[in-house]
A and B are shown apart, each in its own frame.
Chain A
């Protein structure tokens, strides 16, 4: 596609429910990244994929967060047993390669946990 796409654009959920956020990177981009933007923490890195592999998961805030990527394309970020502090905008980015390359961002998913 022309740009990075994310769905849903908005998600409201109840505390304790699971949510799935989807990212579709720019066609041909091998690297995919997830970030989170919240009022208190600014923009923070969560995880990246090179192909379908995520070598470093240390940026994920807790073990309730997981991510996967299939077919070297679409990625899903899953948050289990959501908490109010998970409320944020979740941004996905992609780049042609993982090294020395410009990252392009999607429009984000605004998650609100009630």
Chain B
């Protein structure tokens, strides 16, 4: 099956720093989503980005589908950005889109 690899597994930064999280996937995909899992376990949608570039405030994402990777950029980090960031790729199974998740990047922002 498809493999989704995220790097780095852990990232510790000071408040105000910028960061880049990477997601590599091993096969063609129909969709790609980025999530932030907050300390209470809720998965928060960040981007739905099968290709191209999107921006939302301090966050932006780029997916290069032909090269099978996606990047999530966080600028001017805040302590509330801490948590685990998941990349998930969508593949078709019998007419529906199943999400396959990477193992996540745990981001810690220190004040």
The residues of A with any CB-CB pair to B shorter than 8 Å are: 31, 33, 35, 37, 42-45, 48, 50, 55-56, 59, 89, 91, 93, 95, 98-105, 107-108, 110
With beta carbons under 8 angstroms apart, the residue of B31, B98, B104 that contacts A100 is B31
B41 within 8 A of A: yes
In the complex, the number of residue pairs spanning A and B with C-beta atoms less than 8 Å apart equals: 64
A105 (CB) vs chain B CBs: closest residue: B43
B101 interface residue (CB < 8 Å to A) = yes
CB neighbours (8 Å) of A45 from chain B are: 98-100
Q: Which residue of B has the minimal Cβ distance to A99? A: B97
Q: Is the CB of A50 within 8 A of B86?
A: no
Interface size class of B (residues with CB under 8 A): 20 to 34
Which B residues have a C-beta under 8 Å from some C-beta of A? 30-31, 33, 35, 40-43, 45, 48, 50, 86, 88, 90, 92-101, 103-104
Nearest to B104 among chain A residues (CB) is A42
Question: Shortest distance in angstroms between A94's beta carbon and chain B's nearest beta carbon?
Answer: 12
Is A101 in contact with B97, judged by CB distance below 8 angstroms?
A: yes
Is the pair B33, A100 in contact by a Cβ cutoff of 8 Å?
A: no
Contact flag A102-B45 (CB < 8 Å), given A43-B86, A56-B93, A107-B40: yes
